[in-house]
Structure 1
């Protein structure tokens, strides 16, 4: 039932794809073009197109990769020595669903002039973080992303949606369910593992423009695959938007007073097929240590997950997006939420279907922990890498369980009776500039074991400070036109 064309043809898992498999597929399916794809510093998918002239030509491309100009992809690479190799990863191959000419797409990794992985490539930073986690714990880190986005179109007055009441709305009140469903099918064909899609809270309009928010959530997979499917999903949604004649935006904030778009990441850790987030039906000590580590580094993680000035128009008090560094069960206003994980022990499906359900065997726990701060401006490679490193940081912290206990909250943290306790919590940065300062102070967490190169941290600090946005939210308060101009500047971020 796998929708990926190569999996169906080759009858093997993508992780097992070989160069010979790719060549065989291209020969048998009359592939005329191959595109190398890679995400650059701006987070958007880049492309290098090849017209295949012979089997030997295809073999050369797949064997050697190609040269690219790194200085135009990453600001930390100088033009004086900027050549990089782009080397294809066969497991990522998929058919381009948009071209008339049969075209194969392959994601690439970057290598330097010595043939070594580029140390500062976000993709390689994630790979190093992932390998270090497994080396220290013997476990596999898995994650999934929740991709929220707005569809922006000319206003239509038939079956109007309700302002900020779009959650799980169906057609005809949700106008772009078809676009979302088509995107999900194409993402699955490209190798994405999708959990579900639905319309989101954000729904509003002005005199001539309609804004409708949606979400696509993925299934937990190994971290590199999890990030790849987010990047491909963004590209596919934009391509469909272009064909539908509408804008697709992952911007964290479209306008003040309306729901912003986050990029939440769920995490779990497995060993020998067992989910280590749960212990005796409750959240495990390992999970609580990971939460403590993420909270300890949470203010610095914004340097990778909240990368533009409008990110901090979303992270404001009394909204669902978090501002105070704490965690809780089922709580949407905290940095780390512990969502329902089917740990209640009751057989709900049997109760709903007394005559039609038989469970043959117990299934692995689905329990995750959810990081709720990041948004669509994030570098997903570096954000997930920083969450892995912060989780390791927590596992190794002597007082992690005590810190987790101290930062746990129940219910609405903004209720008046919680004010004194709330004042004891650290707050997330309020601007890119502040985020850079925190990263500078906490950089040792990320640089340990050589995971994040020092030069990359320096570059990130410099990039964030260049926005010069300290105090921007206060300066913009009530200035609708200035906010609109700022939003338009970053409407197609990442």
Structure 2
């Protein structure tokens, strides 16, 4: 197949095929032609971060062996739920994920890996296997694929600038020189697209915070919708790239849900849609259909338990109480930013031609046809999570919640009851990690059904949440600014 001349992925251009068709032999050819010097096998650990195993290239056969067989690693050092007496596990490269590393000291090929146990079976508690099982279970029961994209927010921290100082809470899509960090944003965009991560755009976000000795400037990356397995990997890669680029500029980057007693925290809103045979099934001509409403009902009914994956540190719950646009209740609305679920404004085929013609007077339709996207762009925005989210577990949980909504005969009644247009008194999200753990434990059977979430992993999540001992923390912090600042700094580098 012909490769688009504007394709940003250098390996796709070089090999003349889409990344989904890459083979080990293809990657060997790329290494030879590009004169690369090493291979990095990467995987997502039990803490949700990207890990690295670096190999020299000793020969062509050695390279093909690494790219085909992968390697053994110590699972007990990667996952809290692994026993040390049975901890050897395999990591096997997924060739379709290969990219050129833009940061290393030596030119290298990087490939994401999947985990397998000693019998060659998918490792039950590995992040990428959990989200894959959740996606498969949803598709097997409903025939639908859940696609998702994240809105990843982060702050860059630097000394205050004397020239064009930032204005507090005025950073939304601001341009340089008023916006600080535009170079970082553009480099992040360039690296991610060259790695095969589909992005929509990057921009400055609202949060500008000025303190005595530093400024915090907020930014956002919005992705393109892809199947949830890929969406989770994209978010992990993006965090790594943001930190690497910021570090190279002498800046600190943080995805923390709460960064200061003033200003917005970092959310991680997830947009999603359901697709069958390349067609969105959540919309009709005049807006959201019943399938879309069922999806919303699934998310809202599981929302309290999903905080265990999407809001994993005590400062997550500070964000719920502090943020101007943080969810105020378990409800949803059309374009309503106060609810937990929002249905964003979508492009309408009825109004678009008139807008294009008005913006380009004298040139019908802007001088050419109006391009229609392959799949209807309408999404459903789930506004629960923040930068502390364990993104693979969160997206797996969302697939389980979607399955509940699609199969629950009462789902449409739930959606109607929780619509902000008709009511104004809704249940609230939990107030602490401790409460979140209790709510997950009450719903654990839903997540463990069909073996999607192993019971040992749920136990590990519960234990990690309860170790924060934060049941009464918010009340204490409301009276102690120093204790609050100390807690914020403790959870500064999450995810």
Alignment partner of 1:66 is 2:71: yes
After superposition, the C-alpha distances for 1:161-217 in whole angstroms (9 at most, x for unaligned) are: 111111111111111111101110001111111101110111011111110000010
Alignment partner of 1:262 is 2:291: no
Are 2:41 and 2:110, in contact at CA under 8 Å, matched by a contact in 1? yes
1:54-453 pair list within 5 angstroms: 54-316=59-321, 319-343=324-348, 345-347=350-352, 348-356=355-363, 357=365, 358-359=368-369, 362-363=372-373, 364-410=375-421, 421-423=423-425, 425-453=426-454
Cα separation, 1, equivalents of 2:449 and 2:400: 9
After superposition, the C-alpha distances for 1:374-411 in whole angstroms (9 at most, x for unaligned) are: 0111111110111111011001111110110010003x
After superposition, the C-alpha distances for 1:17-50 in whole angstroms (9 at most, x for unaligned) are: 0111011111111111000111112222110000
Instruction: Give the TM-score normalised by the residue count of structure 2.
Output: 0.95
Cα-Cα RMSD: 1.4
Q: 1:323 to 1:81 in 2, by over 3 A?
A: farther
Are 2:71 and 2:92, in contact at CA under 8 Å, matched by a contact in 1? yes
CA displacement at 1:121 relative to structure 2: 1.0
Partner of 1:414: none
Instruction: Give the TM-score normalised by the residue count of structure 1.
Output: 0.95
Secondary structure at the counterpart of residue 272 of structure 2:
strand
CA displacement at 1:272 relative to structure 2: 2.4
After superposition, the C-alpha distances for 1:335-364 in whole angstroms (9 at most, x for unaligned) are: 111001113721222332243323367544
Are 1:317 and 1:323, in contact at CA under 8 Å, matched by a contact in 2? no
Cα separation, 2, equivalents of 1:361 and 1:239: 36
- Structure 2 residue ranges without an equivalent (≥5): 1-5
CA displacement at 1:442 relative to structure 2: 1.0
Are 1:302 and 1:435, in contact at CA under 8 Å, matched by a contact in 2? yes
Secondary structure at the counterpart of residue 315 of structure 1:
helix
Are 1:223 and 1:384, in contact at CA under 8 Å, matched by a contact in 2? yes
Cα separation, 1, equivalents of 2:391 and 2:341: 17
Secondary structure at the counterpart of residue 84 of structure 1:
strand
Are 2:209 and 2:262, in contact at CA under 8 Å, matched by a contact in 1? no
Cα separation, 2, equivalents of 1:227 and 1:480: 35
**Matched positions, count:** 484
Cα separation, 1, equivalents of 2:101 and 2:17: 20
1:463-474 pair list within 5 angstroms: 463-474=464-475
- Structure 1 residue ranges without an equivalent (≥5): 411-417
After superposition, the C-alpha distances for 1:316-337 in whole angstroms (9 at most, x for unaligned) are: 1772111410001111121111
Cα separation, 2, equivalents of 1:280 and 1:389: 28
After superposition, the C-alpha distances for 1:41-77 in whole angstroms (9 at most, x for unaligned) are: 2222110000010111111112211011111111111
CA displacement at 1:100 relative to structure 2: 3.8
Partner of 1:475: 476
Secondary structure at the counterpart of residue 201 of structure 1:
strand
Are 2:263 and 2:323, in contact at CA under 8 Å, matched by a contact in 1? no
After superposition, the C-alpha distances for 1:245-288 in whole angstroms (9 at most, x for unaligned) are: 11000000001231010011100111222211202322011010
Cα separation, 2, equivalents of 1:39 and 1:154: 33
Secondary structure at the counterpart of residue 67 of structure 1:
strand
Are 1:146 and 1:215, in contact at CA under 8 Å, matched by a contact in 2? yes
Cα separation, 2, equivalents of 1:317 and 1:491: 17
Q: 1:304 to 1:318 in 2, by over 3 A?
A: closer
Cα separation, 1, equivalents of 2:208 and 2:312: 25
Secondary structure at the counterpart of residue 258 of structure 2:
coil
Cα separation, 2, equivalents of 1:152 and 1:361: 39
Cα separation, 2, equivalents of 1:149 and 1:279: 35
After superposition, the C-alpha distances for 1:84-136 in whole angstroms (9 at most, x for unaligned) are: 11111000100011124210110011111111111111110100111112112
Q: 1:465 to 1:100 in 2, by over 3 A?
A: closer
Cα separation, 2, equivalents of 1:484 and 1:318: 16
